[in-house]
Amino acid sequence: MLPVDVGGLDRGPVDVSRTIASDDPLFDDLDFELTGPVRLSGRLLSASLGRFYWQGSIATDVDATCRRCLSSTPRQIDAQVHLVFTEDQDTDDPSVYVVPARADVLDLSEAIREELILALEAYVLCREDCKGLCPSCGTDLNTNSCDCRPPSDLRWAALEKSKTKVNE
């Protein structure tokens, strides 16, 4: 839970700045590991028609996995975030978060979790030119080499074989 008291919102923006521990259940089962607390800094504003805006930043350090070589890859997240909450239960706008109507407390936790996931790039690489793992034997080609042929060679080999068959 990341409750924010919205009772005073009529009188002006509410400052919502928190530090959430990396082991908070909110961050269970992410694709990456948090190596530091999640720092939120922002303000919640009330807008018309049961809408709320939260504008601020989400910052933390994570340990992600390189998509090519699977090595642990540290990343810093510092994302500017603009969240829209609505009390309209029937909205079909996927970019807004639906909250209960006339609630005194707004729970930001689900939105923060989602924004954190979006803030990390989808295709993490340990370095731009990571060579990845050999698809046949699994050798890390950044540090080692192997005798496996690249897939294109294998295709050629298959072609050669079928050719010789035809000739027989």
**Footprint on this chain of Zn ion (rule: CB under 5 A):** 66, 68-69, 126, 130, 134, 136-137, 139, 146, 148
Q: Which is nearer to Zn ion, 57 or 139 (CB)?
A: 139
**For residue 36, what are its two tokens?**
């530091």
- How near is the Cβ of 146 to Zn ion at its closest, in Å? 3
Q: Which is nearer to Zn ion, 6 or 130 (CB)?
A: 130
Q: Yes or no: say if 64 and 32 are a contact pair by the CB < 8 Å rule.
A: yes
Neighbours of 115 (CB within 10 A): 19
- How near is the Cβ of 62 to Zn ion at its closest, in Å? 16
- How near is the Cβ of 72 to Zn ion at its closest, in Å? 10
142, with CB counted inside 10 A (0-12, 13-18, 19+), is middle
- How near is the Cβ of 151 to Zn ion at its closest, in Å? 11
Q: Which is nearer to Zn ion, 3 or 74 (CB)?
A: 74
Q: Which is nearer to Zn ion, 88 or 140 (CB)?
A: 140
